[in-house]
Amino acid sequence: MPGAVKTYDILAIGAHPDDVEVGSGGVLIRMVGMGYRVGIVYLTRGEMGTGGTARIRKKEAERAAEIMGADLLEHFDIGDTRVFDTYENRGLVARVLRKYRPAIVLAPHWEGHTGKRQSHADHVATGRIVLNAANLANLKKFDQRSEPHEVRAIFHYFLPIGVSPTFVVDITDYFDRWLEALKAHRSQFLNPKKTRDYLWTLETMARSFGSLIGVKYAQGFACSSPLHVADLLAVAGPARRVV
Ligand SMILES: [Zn+2]
């Protein structure tokens, strides 16, 4: 259909430019490699981050999206550190879901403790906004200018401390490219003014998830509701290589 908006297999939503890369980048690279269409949407411009500016971070996110093979990158500006689960924000995301009609949505986890080294309040709020927006997007009477859309599943990255993943995805073969996508965010991960080695932390997390399924690197996700399974073998994962 000429002029029709492309639909997406996976739409990954984050609060700040880099969230999607950090929480699910290796998996997105894997999915793009399998032929799936992947899009990325950010709710803020990350202007409150210690490193970079809104303009710099937009450029970095564009480069990272290119490296990951995403064919959509959209930025909203609802205010870094001011992300709340309001009707207005649910409506904004519901319209995005109706526009791009993803089968699967990735979003930050909807719970978490607050404070340094804990969940960022914007991440938690984004997880909640996405869960509520998915309901709104499917309501016939919400915004009658667009067609209702039902998302098949929402998978959450950024698991709070102590929360086990519902499933874990092997990204070993995609690790180097993932690292490249992360390094595109120079202001965040290669910034000499920042003393913390974030890349080391992210590699350690990927190794930790990997150890849960006997592979080198992986990323973990949680679901807020049970997975609807039709084929037990499809969710059993590949047979382990006998060494
Ligand atoms: Zn963030």
CA of 220 to the centre of ligand 1 (A): 17
Residue 42 structure tokens: 């950010």
- Mean pLDDT for 151-165 is 95
CA of 159 to the centre of ligand 1 (A): 13
- Mean pLDDT for 27-50 is 97
- Computed over every residue of the chain, the mean pLDDT equals 94
- Mean pLDDT for 107-130 is 90
CA of 242 to the centre of ligand 1 (A): 39
CA of 15 to the centre of ligand 1 (A): 6
- Mean pLDDT for 166-178 is 98
| Entry pTM | 0.95
CA of 241 to the centre of ligand 1 (A): 36
